[in-house]
A and B are shown apart, each in its own frame.
Chain A
Amino acid sequence: MIVDTQSVRFPSIALDSGVVLAPVDVAYQTYGSLNADKSNAILILHAFSGDSHAAGIDRETGKPGWWDNMIGPGKGFDTDRYFVLCSNVLSGCRGTTGPSSINPATGCPWAMSFPGVTIADMVRLQKMLVDHLGISRLLAVAGGSMGGMQVLEWAVSHPSSVAAAIPIASTARHSAMQIAFNEVGRQAVMSDPDWCGGNYYGKTLPRRGLAVARMVGHITYMSDESMREKFGRRFRGKDQPGFDFGVDFEVESYLRYRGSQFVDRFDANSYLYITKAMDYFDLAAGYPSLAASLERATAKFLVISFTSDWLYPSYQSLEIVNALRGRNRDVAYCELPSNYGHDAFLVEVGEQTEIVRGFLARVAREVGAA
């Protein structure tokens, strides 16, 4: 399945901050075909560092999508049955308007003058895209991690536009620990001298700061077990310590590699904006309780968490699930066994496929989209 990234421009979008951003571009990809009554559409919402290329092989890069093992013909999100779409989030750097885009008023990149965005703003832009495609009700919205936050926001903000919601390894609000890790990442970026207050475009990029931020991120995505299994204490290309602060251990080599790879595809300012949006997100804000906010949601829910995920622990998924049960909403919940930590939602394909397939088939049957 060779896929192209498409793009649509809207004249403007009003943000939670009160700022009106104009114009705004959204990059998106689609897989499978929309049925006649447009009732088989599933919106996939990407995690922090993802993009619109969720599945298939990208025509330009030749690379598979970030959730290609879950989306495609005969897969969990079966593109023989469903029309699947995914867009890059607002303030991202992969085709959708963000701090690296040109501010039409100045002709220069927005950089840190880009307005602050929220998860609700991201969802607002996705809603514009979905409306633009003529889809009045999505069969499902699904995503892991930050994608799961958008799923929750969709279910509460646009209850009549969502038949089913699948938040995976996610939360209704960040804990102090999650905010803390994001803050370390932001400080790493901002303390790189090359960051220059965000005005590094066309100059030296803050590669070191962004790479360190990504290294911390990768640690939080793994687990003690998965790191022991993958690296142990093995040395890299040597059998004794180097005493030179170079790369000694496999794990160091891995983190440096992932860090340096990341800076080639991600904008440092987008890192700052998106992590802030995650930290600001609180589904219960403006409501007396989380249950009160979720009471607005009429979608059928499938909530999944993973045993070794210490970044988005199961108790956060249970908070959502129990609030829904307290309001007698239709919710299925499963904690899948895995050693992969937070990465599990991208890696543990077999069980997720079975669960998602069965859940979607039921919802499609119930809403008459089968």
Chain B
Amino acid sequence: MTETAARRRALVHEVLGRSDYAIIGDIIAENSKVLDAGCGEAELLAWLVENKNVDARGIELNPAKVQKAIARGVSVYQGDLERSLRDYPDKAFDYVILSQTLQQTVRPLEVLREMLRVGRCGVVAFPNFGHWRVRWSHLWSGRAPRTALFPYEWYDSPNIHFLTIVDFESLIEKQGWRVDKRIFLSGHRQVRVAPNLSAEIAIYQIRG
């Protein structure tokens, strides 16, 4: 990593807080077309516009968040991403981002396929259910795991599909997708050894 890249990443950390945003901020090329599916208040997109001059679009279901995003100056569409992706033409974007949303979708495979149809590539970040703390929590308590990453009770969790890095790798292989990049994070630190045990967040750049 060059010094500028390091400085920029430090800045992304500071501005965006979320470690996956920092990585995604780094991955996205300048002047590209980006769709963030499930963009929240569009903090990431606004940062990408400011720093990478991207043409930014977002999809978000929560109306209050959509209002904040539009007030921030980002073109966000209020809608359910599972039903909205299909409206865009093929390869409309250079990147379609799905940041910590996959595990909340009803039909994750369909969402991924649509992402890869609409975008030249997809950037997917998800919390890794295979992390050792999750496994420990489950083994020790005998209950649905609760960790810093999965803080919810089973009955009020927005997460409805739990996946691990190994699960995702096997899906990629089965679907014949190509992986451009895979990055694993524990906190703000990148991990390389035994990611399925040690990584809290996995970030993939994939192509259909």
Interface residues of A (CB under 8 A from B): 300, 302, 321-322, 325-328, 330-337, 351, 354-355, 357-359, 361-362, 365
Asked if B76 is an interface residue, CB under 8 A from chain A, the answer is: yes
State whether A357 touches B87 (Cβ < 8 A).
Answer: no
In the complex, whether B72 has a CB less than 8 A from a CB of chain A is yes
CB–CB A333/B78 < 8 A: yes
Q: How far is the CA of A82 from the CA of B207 in the complex (A)?
A: 44
Asked if A300 and B75 make an inter-chain contact with CB atoms under 8 angstroms apart, the answer reads: yes
Contacts of A332 in B (CB 8 A): 70, 74-77
Distance in angstroms from A173 CB to nearest chain B CB is 19
Measured CB to CB, the closest approach of chain A to B33, in angstroms, equals 9
Candidates B55, B63, B67, B77; contact of A354 at CB < 8 Å: B67
Q: Which residue of A lies closest to B91 (CB)?
A: A328
Q: B63 contacts A328, CB within 8 Å?
A: no
| Whole-angstrom CA separation of A332 from B75 in the bound complex | 4
Q: Which residues of A contact B78 (CB under 8 A)?
A: 333-335
Q: Which B residues from 18 to 64 make CB contacts under 8 A with A?
A: 55, 57, 63
Instruction: Give the distance in Å from the alpha carbon of A333 to the alpha carbon of B84 in the complex.
Output: 12
Within the complex, which residue of B55, B66, B89 is in contact with A327, where a contact is CB–CB below 8 Å? B89
26 pairs across A/B with beta carbons < 8 Å?
A321-B77, A325-B84, A325-B87, A325-B88, A326-B89, A330-B55, A330-B75, A331-B77, A332-B75, A333-B77, A333-B78, A333-B79, A334-B70, A334-B76, A335-B78, A336-B63, A337-B63, A354-B67, A355-B67, A358-B71, A358-B72, A358-B73, A359-B73, A361-B73, A362-B73, A365-B73
- Shortest Cβ distance from A355 into B: residue: B70
B interface residue numbers (CB < 8 A to A): 55, 57, 63, 66-67, 70-79, 84, 87-89, 92
A155 CB, min distance to chain B CBs, angstroms? 15
Complex: A362 Cα to B55 Cα, angstroms: 12
Do most interface residues of chain B lie in helix, strand or loop, or is the interface mixed?
mixed
Q: Which residues of A contact B73 (CB under 8 A)?
A: 358-359, 361-362, 365
Q: Which of A302, A334, A358, A365 contacts B63 (CB 8 A)?
A: A334
Task: Give A328's nearest chain B residue, CB to CB.
Answer: B92
> B71: which A residues are within 8 A, CB to CB?
354-355, 357-358
Chain B residues contacting A357 (CB-CB under 8 Å) are: 71
Give Cα A336–Cα B76 distance, bound, in whole angstroms. Answer: 14
Q: How far is A335 from B75 in the complex, measured between Cα atoms in Å?
A: 14
**Is there an interface contact between A326 and B87, defined as CB atoms closer than 8 Å?**
yes
Cβ–Cβ contact B70 & A326, under 8 A = no
- Closest CB in chain B relative to A255 CB, distance in Å: 32
- B72 with A331: CB separation less than 8 A: no
In the complex, besides A325-B87, A333-B76, A333-B77, 10 extra interface pairs with C-beta distance below 8 angstroms are A325-B88, A327-B89, A331-B75, A331-B77, A333-B78, A334-B76, A337-B63, A351-B67, A362-B73, A362-B74
In contact, B87 and A334 (Cβ under 8 angstroms): no
Chain B, residue nearest A329 (CB): B75
A334, B92: Cβ atoms closer than 8 Å? no
What is the CA–CA distance of A351 and B69 in the complex, to the nearest angstrom?
A: 12
Residue of B with least CB distance to A332: B75
Closest 3 CB pairs of A and B: A362-B73, A358-B71, A354-B71
A361 vs B57: C-alpha distance when bound (angstroms) = 16
User: How far apart are the CA atoms of A300 and B57 in the complex, in Å?
Assistant: 12
Residues of B within 8 A of A328 (CB): 88-89, 92
Complex: how many Å from CA A302 to CA B70? Answer: 9
Write the chain B residue with the least CB distance to A322: B87
Contacts of B87 in A (CB 8 A): 322, 325-326
* Chain B residues positioned under 8 Å from A322 (CB to CB): 87
Kindly list chain B residues whose C-beta atoms are within 8 Å of the C-beta of A334: 63, 66-67, 70, 76, 78
Task: Give chain B nearest CB distance to A107 CB in angstroms.
Answer: 53
User: Cα distance A336–B87 when bound, in Å?
Assistant: 22
Q: Give Cα A61–Cα B66 distance, bound, in whole angstroms.
A: 39
